[in-house]
């Protein structure tokens, strides 16, 4: 018996002792009463091993369990702890296994050694009790979960086996009550299951699966009109609201034009002065040869003044920005732009066609995979996360760029298979799954650890 059993030095304290000359049925009743009072399977095994001898005249009792078809000696009479490496314990277990193979363990079996002894076993030659009897412990459905092997030096009589069988039924009932029948039921051996599971797991590692990556995405317009600042200045007024529909030629915003208007007015006055001087020189040139020589210079000065006026007028007109196409205006907020100085060419807003949209996916460098044009994409948009939208990749950037959160990412664009979905509105964000080429499942699962090991250790 292993650590869960009480050692021989602390035996179970029986409530009654058999008086001298007690009848067998009195001993039977006392043992049955003690079996009902035990509080653990270990105590019950100890009682079986040491009390059974008083009624059956056995010289040695072995209590064996049969977990999942295995044979294991749990307790031996008059021995406090079972030594698993003892030759006698190995002999008894081997003997019971042979009995199981040849005759089965479900019925009472009385026999004499060397019957059922394992081939080549020599322990039976020195064992002093050659007459054996196997008594099974069964569940209600007949399943054998344990039993006791009784040994003595005289043949077994039918009356002795009858009493032993009655005890076996009592012990089986007590054992079932303490352990529960479910724990004692026959189950599939664990080792074969583990072996099969390991084989299946190894085989599954070679199953080809699509390499996938999840990345944040956003619905963006296709080829929007970029509205940039036409010159250096500060934005004075914005005439539209974000996401407002506009038509071609509609004013969008205006730059501060005070200096430009003044320059235009000064240039206009310079033109008038040049025109007056040219008229004056032209009238004098009729009679004055020197005036005729200044006539060409005066005309050139008028041309320069008119050019400056036209340039000033063009710059003043550029301070008012109008829409070039019909669409929806896309920018952040008026308050972010009014009064803000901008440089020539700086993007202020976009005008996009709301019916022509695509998906922009920012794939972090650490998660990047090889993506071919036309690869399948499933977009889980925040507006409808339960229904993914199908798309196909159109292009991907060669160089990564910094995105929100200071993350380097490759930008991938994907076109939707259908743009009639109401959820495909400009600005909707979500998460997209890109399907790459097929790889073994093992590579799919361990790609990141392999990459870290190669980068950190160079293996």
pLDDT in tens, 87-123: 899 999 999 999 999 988 889 999 999 899 988 888 8
3-state secondary structure of 18: coil
3-state secondary structure of 208: strand
CA atoms within 13 A on the CB side of 269: 5
Q: Which helix (H) or strand (E) holds 194?
A: helix 190-204
**What is the pLDDT at residue 181?**
65
3-state secondary structure of 188: coil
Q: What is the pLDDT of residues 173-184, one digit of tens each?
A: 999 888 876 666
Longest dimension (CA), the chain: 173
Residue 427 neighbours by CB distance under 10 Å:
13
Q: Which CATH class for the 24-184 domain? A: alpha beta
Length of the chain: 459
Q: What is the pLDDT of residues 398-448, one digit of tens each?
A: 888 888 888 899 999 999 987 666 668 888 899 999 998 888 988 888 888
Instruction: Give the pair of three-digit tokens for residue 443.
Output: 């590579």
**What is the pLDDT at residue 4?**
37
**What is the pLDDT at residue 419?**
65
**What is the pLDDT at residue 69?**
66
Is the predicted pLDDT of residue 22 greater than 60, yes or no? no
Average pLDDT over residues 226-254: 91
Average pLDDT over residues 74-96: 88
CA quadruple 85, 89, 95, 96: dihedral positive or negative? negative
Q: What is the pLDDT of residues 114-151, one digit of tens each?
A: 899 988 888 888 889 999 999 999 888 888 889 999 99
**What is the pLDDT at residue 182?**
64
**What is the pLDDT at residue 11?**
36
Instruction: Give the pair of three-digit tokens for residue 431.
Output: 């998460």
Cα separation, 271 vs 310, in Å, equals 10
Kindly report the CATH number that applies to the domain delimited by 356-457: 2.40.30
Least confident of 70-79, 282-291, 302-311: 282-291
**Contact by Cβ (8 Å): 57, 161:** no
**What is the pLDDT at residue 12?**
35
Cα separation, 72 vs 75, in Å, equals 9
232 backbone dihedrals φ, ψ, rounded to 5° = -75, 140
Domains of the chain, by residue range, sit at 24-184, 225-348, 356-457
**pTM, full prediction:** 0.54
């Amino acid at each position: 018996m292993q650590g869960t059993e009480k050692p021989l030095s602390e035996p179970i304290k029986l409530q009654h002792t058999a008086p001298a000359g007690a009848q067998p049925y009195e001993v039977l009743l006392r043992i049955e009463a003690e079996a009902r009072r035990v509080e653990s399977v270990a105590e019950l095994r100890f009682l079986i091993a040491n009390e059974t001898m008083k009624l059956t005249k056995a010289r040695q009792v072995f209590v064996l369990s049969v977990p999942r078809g295995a044979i294991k000696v749990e307790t031996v009479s008059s021995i406090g702890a079972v030594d698993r490496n003892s030759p006698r314990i190995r002999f008894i277990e081997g003997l019971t296994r042979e009995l199981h193979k040849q005759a089965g363990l479900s019925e009472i079996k009385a026999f004499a050694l060397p019957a059922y002894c394992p081939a080549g076993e020599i322990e039976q030659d020195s064992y002093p009790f050659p007459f054996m009897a196997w008594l099974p412990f069964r569940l209600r459905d007949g399943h054998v979960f344990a039993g006791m092997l009784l040994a003595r030096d005289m043949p077994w009589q039918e009356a002795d086996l009858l009493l032993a069988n009655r005890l076996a039924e009592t012990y089986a009932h007590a054992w079932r009550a303490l352990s529960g029948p479910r724990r004692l039921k026959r189950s599939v051996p664990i080792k074969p299951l583990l072996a099969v599971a390991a084989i299946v797991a190894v085989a599954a590692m070679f199953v080809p699966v699509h390499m996938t990556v999840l990345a944040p995405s956003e619905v963006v317009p296709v080829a929007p009109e970029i509205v940039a600042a036409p010159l250096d200045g500060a934005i004075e007024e914005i005439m539209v609201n974000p996401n407002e529909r506009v038509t071609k030629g509609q004013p969008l915003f205006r730059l501060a034009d005070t200096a430009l208007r003044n320059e235009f007015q000064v240039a206009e006055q310079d033109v008038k002065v040049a025109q007056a001087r040219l008229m004056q020189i032209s009238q004098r040139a009729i009679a004055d040869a020197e005036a005729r020589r200044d006539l060409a210079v005066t005309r050139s000065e008028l041309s320069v003044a008119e050019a400056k006026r036209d340039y000033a007028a063009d710059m003043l007109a550029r301070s008012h920005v109008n829409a070039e196409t019909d669409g929806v205006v896309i920018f952040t907020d008026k308050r972010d732009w009014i009064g803000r100085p901008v440089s020539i060419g700086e993007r202020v807003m976009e005008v996009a066609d709301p019916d022509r949209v695509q998906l922009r996916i920012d794939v972090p460098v650490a998660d990047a995979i090889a993506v071919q044009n036309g690869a399948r994409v499933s977009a889980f948009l925040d507006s409808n996360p339960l229904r993914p939208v199908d798309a196909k990749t159109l292009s991907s950037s060669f160089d990564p760029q910094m995105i929100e959160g200071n993350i380097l990412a490759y930008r991938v664009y994907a076109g939707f298979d259908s743009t009639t979905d109401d959820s495909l509105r400009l600005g909707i964000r979500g998460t997209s799954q890109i399907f790459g080429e097929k790889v073994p499942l093992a590579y799919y699962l361990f790609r990141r650890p392999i990459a870290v090991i190669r980068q950190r250790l160079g293996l």
